[in-house]
């Protein structure tokens, strides 16, 4: 992936805040890049969660299956496997 040559200008107060927030070994550019990537990822995850909630509302049987899975006794051995021993 190629990188566009971009400069983002920050006023002195905002740049000082970046300096206060970032790790001492991290550059301001790396810090801002990480912030943008984290925000972008969070927005994607939020959109996916909202889409999944809409899916569950449109398909109530899927919610029923999730409830069944949530109630499954996962700490116990499966009955079929337990009867073979």
Residue ranges of domains in the chain = 27-68
Task: Give dist(CA 26, CA 19) in Å, integer.
Answer: 9
Task: Give dist(CA 52, CA 48) in Å, integer.
Answer: 6
Task: Give dist(CA 11, CA 20) in Å, integer.
Answer: 14
| Residue entry with tokens 């301001």 | 28
Q: What band does 1 get if pLDDT is binned at 50, 70 and 90? A: low
Q: What is the pTM of this model?
A: 0.67
DSSP code at position 78:
P
Could you read off the pLDDT of 68-78 as tens digits, one per residue?
A: 989 888 888 87
């Amino acid at each position: 992936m190629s990188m566009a040559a971009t400069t983002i200008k920050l006023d002195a107060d905002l740049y000082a805040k970046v300096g206060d927030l970032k790790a001492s070994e991290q550059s301001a550019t790396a810090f801002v890049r990480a912030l943008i990537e984290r925000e972008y990822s969070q927005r994607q995850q939020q959109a996916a969660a909202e889409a999944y909630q809409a899916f569950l509302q449109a398909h109530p049987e899927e919610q029923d299956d999730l409830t069944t899975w949530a109630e499954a006794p996962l700490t116990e051995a499966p009955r079929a496997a337990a009867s073979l021993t």
